[in-house]
Amino acid sequence: MEAGTVYRSIGAIPDAGAGGRGEWRRPAGRGERNRSDPGALEDFPREAPQDRIGRIVVWTLAGVAVALVVTAPVVGDLPAVLRSADPALWLIAGLAVIVDTRWFTGRQRFATVFPSVAFTFALLLGWGIAVAVPVQALAVLVFSLRRRDPVWRLVYDQARYALSLAVAGGALALAGVPRLAGDAWAAGPTWPDVATVVAIALAGVVWAAVNGLVAATASALMFGAAWAAELNRIARRNGRATLSLLALGSLVVATGAVNPLLVLLVLVPLFIVGQHTRYTTEEARKATTDELTGLPNRKALYAHVQAQARTYGQFRRRHRGRPDERRMALLLMDIDQFRRVNEALGHGVGDRLLVAVAARLREAIGGDGLVTRLGGDEFAVLAPRLVDSEAVGVLAGRVADALADPIVLDGLPLDVTAAIGAAIYPDHGTDVITLLRRAEVAMYDAKDHSATWALYTPDAEQHSPERLELLADLRRALDSGSDDLQLHYQPQIDLATGHICGAESLLRWSHPERGFVSPEMIIRIAEHTAIMRKLTARVLEEAVSQLAKWRADGLNLRVSVNVSARDLHRGEFVDDLSELLAERGVPANQLQIEITEGALMADSRRVMLTLHRLDRLGVALSLDDFGTGYSSLTHLRRLPLAEVKIDKSFVLGMTTDTDDNAIVGSIIDLGRRLGLRVVAEGVEDEETRRMLLTAGCEVGQGWYFARPMPADAFVAWLGRYRPPEAPA
């Protein structure tokens, strides 16, 4: 699938940060934000979705046409008004343009209130539509040039303001309200009566209503959002600020009629209102923005997912019976090895790395999604309007590619990788908590399989109610020392002599209600929890205690114990094991630790340190499931290994599959050349045993010799065991 087919416009909320076009947007420029900037008159993104640009163009042109129709009858009044050379007119018109410049509003680029509204409404009240509309158009042009708006946005704003002023002027005309400035006022000023004041107030309400209706309709057309919900959002966010500015307009024209210089005093309350509104908006922005990276934070993500879900729900209610193709994806990732950067280079460099990662993610996603920082080294991407679930892979690939090149800080290149987990609405959940949890499950699934990304599947779920109950039962069994958990032992046989050279300890759990629980299930539910430490401690203590008991009975065997990556990350693991061996009087060379290649991938430096300490202690190391992981040759060269174990998936098929046979032979040859003992798992018949022996494999393990059994049964089996006949 091409990157350009990831999205299509099937509806979104306007401030979800997504553009809805069928290709990736251009990266946001410096200082731009990838979502709409809520506030008065700024209720949808400056960058229009390409596949819906036609709708906004039609709507904009319709607004321009209506504004022209309404204002055309009074355009002829403009020359006469201008010839009057009223000082108040020129002062108010000049201020309408000036107050929207940086000189008055400050350096902020995305204003949430536009002071020009107060002055242009004053012009409407005092001198009519013919003056107010062109002055407002000039103010909009000044602000749009300052903000570097695209042309369509400039035309849209021109039409929106012109239409608002035109309809408000029409309301004043219908109410019979005379102009509050000019010759009529100078000839004999009279204070407006109650009816006039009410009519002016209603005209202000009409102005705000028309402006909000136009903005809500544009958002609904552009993004498929619910029109009523958009109107409610705009009114709630901008209503009070807009009405306050319009109220100031009537005061401006009144003070101008008394003395034009008094209009300047209106700048003081106007500035205070603007500052207060900007402060309130900034506080609201900070509440939903990550301070370090400038990305939206967890709270903002929650709000966007909930709003998007509401929009999708409204679509389904409006279009019952029509297949609902609406999908959105939530991608979750954290930076691998980020803690090591903080430890080695300091938190200042770590913070700069997070900022650089945020910038790359924002550039990769552009306007087609919302990039958020959830905290620490954890980021999320919300991607609405997916074509299908396959498009998630395209998006995940974009994210991975964005982090592919090293980030250079102070001349030091830092490699950044991240496992990505994805969950899709509504397939994997309809609320943000569920989607986040399942995206996290998928992320850990990707880590476990050393994959770039993974899509949520129920099989990877570690925290379903059933598994949480099972995890609680496991904790109780460990805390109580229950016999439901016990070790079974499977012998390892020297293929050349048939003698027993060791045994592997395998955990078995006989649940009182569920029956047998597989070791794979036990590891799956416990590996990413604190219970894993208790489980390993229980297994090691039982294995070492059993070795001590056998040693006292004159039976000296080497026993292998599997440990997880979580165990090897603990610096005290070796100390605890050394103390346990000393307490039980068991030589370290009678214990062997089995690790998988996956355990080496998460934090190889720390794991490597632990493994070398185990080697110095005298504990042998075995690389389990060899051939199924990654970077195997590198590990063989660097690790202090005593043996490698060929995964049974190859051994089981070697008698019938030439590829499996070739793989097994290659591993045996490689192990022998490196001076490592080679153990084959999954030996289930005589033919396999003979083939392994012929290939030079030293040790075999499998059901052909014996199944795993409890310690007492294992001892009894030893008494009955007779080595197989050597091959002819």
What is the side-by-side order of every strand in the sheet holding 418-425? 370-375, 378-384, 328-335, 418-425, 453-455
Q: Residue 310 — very low, low, confident or very high, per pLDDT cuts 50/70/90?
A: confident
What average pLDDT does this structure show over 258-264? Answer: 75
Helix residue spans in 598-657 (DSSP H) = 598-601, 604-617, 632-638, 648-651
Bridge partner residues of 503 (DSSP) = 491, 559
Q: Residue 94 — very low, low, confident or very high, per pLDDT cuts 50/70/90?
A: confident
Q: Residue 419: CA atoms inside 13 Å, Cβ hemisphere, count?
A: 21
- Predicted confidence (pLDDT) at residue 594 exceeds the cutoff of 80: yes
> In terms of pLDDT, which residue wins out, 215 or 80?
215
Which stretch, 168-182, 386-400, 468-482, has highest mean pLDDT?
Answer: 468-482
Q: How high is the pLDDT of residue 344?
A: 74
Q: Residue 281 — very low, low, confident or very high, per pLDDT cuts 50/70/90?
A: low
Nearest to 622 by CA among 681, 704, 536, 560: 560
Bridge partner residues of 273 (DSSP) = none
Where b means 16+ CB within 10 Å and e means fewer, 181-216 reads bbeebeeeeeeeeeebeebbebbbbbbbbbbbbbbb
Secondary structure tally for the chain: helices H, strands E:
28, 17
d(CA 372, CA 299): 10
- Predicted confidence (pLDDT) at residue 295 exceeds the cutoff of 70: yes
Q: Which amino acid is at 464?
A: S
Helix residue spans in 481-569 (DSSP H) = 519-526, 531-552, 565-568
Contacts of 168 (CB under 8 A, 6+ apart): 121, 124, 203, 204, 206, 207, 210
Pair of tokens at residue 656? 């019938």
Helix residue spans in 40-115 (DSSP H) = 53-71, 77-83, 87-98, 102-105
What average pLDDT does this structure show over 590-618? Answer: 80
Q: Residue 461 — very low, low, confident or very high, per pLDDT cuts 50/70/90?
A: low
Q: Which amino acid is at 428?
A: H
Pair of tokens at residue 165? 């002023």
Q: How high is the pLDDT of residue 9?
A: 28
Pair of tokens at residue 18? 């997504």
| Cβ atoms 293, 358 nearer than 8 A | yes
Q: Which of 154-158, 268-272, 542-546 has the lowest mean pLDDT?
A: 268-272
Contacts of 75 (CB under 8 A, 6+ apart): 130
pLDDT tens per residue, range 494-553 = 999 999 999 999 999 998 888 888 888 888 778 767 788 889 999 999 999 999 999 999
Q: Which of 187-191, 395-399, 441-445, 464-468 has the lowest mean pLDDT?
A: 187-191
d(CA 558, CA 537): 19
| Cβ atoms 699, 592 nearer than 8 A | no
d(CA 502, CA 525): 29
Q: Residue 697 — very low, low, confident or very high, per pLDDT cuts 50/70/90?
A: very high
Q: Which amino acid is at 153?
A: R
Q: Which of 178-182, 434-438, 466-470 has the lowest mean pLDDT?
A: 178-182
| Cβ atoms 7, 17 nearer than 8 A | no
Mean pLDDT score of the chain, rounded to an integer? 78
Nearest to 380 by CA among 296, 489, 274: 296
C-alpha separations of 266 from 105, 198, 274, 294, 475 in Å: 15, 22, 12, 35, 71
Pair of tokens at residue 27? 């990266």
pLDDT tens per residue, range 234-259 = 777 777 778 888 888 877 877 777 77
Pair of tokens at residue 38? 């809520």
d(CA 418, CA 454): 12
Nearest to 383 by CA among 397, 394, 364, 368: 368
| Cβ atoms 469, 463 nearer than 8 A | no
What average pLDDT does this structure show over 263-291? Answer: 74
Residue 511: other Cβ atoms inside 10 A: 14
Residue 548: other Cβ atoms inside 10 A: 16
d(CA 134, CA 313): 43
What DSSP string runs through 540-555? HHHHHHHHHHHHHTT-
What DSSP string runs through 356-386? HHHHHHHHHHTTBSEEEEEETTEEEEEEESB
Pair of tokens at residue 497? 């002599």
Q: Which amino acid is at 422?
A: A
pLDDT tens per residue, range 698-708 = 999 999 999 99
d(CA 92, CA 98): 10
pLDDT tens per residue, range 652-676 = 989 888 988 999 999 999 888 889 9
Pair of tokens at residue 555? 């039976």
| Cβ atoms 371, 379 nearer than 8 A | yes
Q: Which amino acid is at 562?
A: N
